A and B are shown apart, each in its own frame.
Chain A
Amino acid sequence: AQTVTQSQPEMSVQEAETVTLSCTYDTSESDYYLFWYKQPPSRQMILVIRQEAYKQQNATENRFSVNFQKAAKSFSLKISDSQLGDAAMYFCAYRKNTDKLIFGTGTRLQVFP
């Protein structure tokens, strides 16, 4: 069965600095999708960034980028120029084709001014 592991329950960063959130996963599939979701205190689940496993190029969305290492089954999220509004729970998620999302346990990110 596929699993997703986030080993950092909490992280903190100074405003304007860069932080990296870790995620590893386990799967025997070769074709799948990986996602990072943000959940602020409002509890709304917001898609931050996504990566298709067959693409070697790392995805980038403005200040958010990923480091996708397929062989190592690693999918970390880098947030550059951190802002107070980035404070939230961040969930790494895996999905095989059109199947369900499998989530990691989440990382709580605090941003200090």
Chain B
Amino acid sequence: DTAVSQTPKYLVTQMGNDKSIKCEQNLGHDTMYWYKQDSKKFLKIMFSYNNKELIINETVPNRFSPKSPDKAHLNLHINSLELGDSAVYFCASSRLGQRSSYNEQFFGPGTRLTVL
């Protein structure tokens, strides 16, 4: 039973193309996130949605547009791909709740994007 799934796991594409990465969680969580891990393994938040509403939008180029059709899905669309977009993109989810729940974030397996 996959808790947080991402498709595809690998994505190789040419500069200038538009691509999407999909994320789905079956944990009943109400908050989902996109993180980017660069070539030096540094992980940084990009976006966060709570109940389909954007609540975190870090300094990310406008070419990146998240879309949340429902609480269980958060997709990431990237326009006009650039070489610097090559990275691993992680989706995560959590439940906004009381202190005792720790609000643990569960991560998907990551999508390795390579822009040629």
Closest to B41 in A: A106
Docked Cα-Cα span, A105 to B41, in Å, equals: 7
- Size band of the interface chain A makes with B: 20 to 34
- How many residues on the B side are at the interface (Cβ–Cβ under 8 A)? 27
Contact of A100 with B48 in the complex, beta carbons under 8 Å: yes
Q: How far does the Cβ of A5 sit from chain B's closest Cβ, in whole Å?
A: 12
Interchain CB contact (< 8 A) of B42 among A44, A100, A103: A103
- The answer, yes or no, to whether B75 is at the interface (CB within 8 Å) is no
Chain A residues engaging chain B, CB cutoff 8 angstroms? 33, 39, 42-45, 47, 50, 52, 89, 91, 95, 97-103, 105-106
Contact of A98 with B103 in the complex, beta carbons under 8 Å: yes
**Which A residues are in CB contact (< 8 Å) with B48?**
100
Q: How far does the Cβ of B65 sit from chain A's closest Cβ, in whole Å?
A: 18
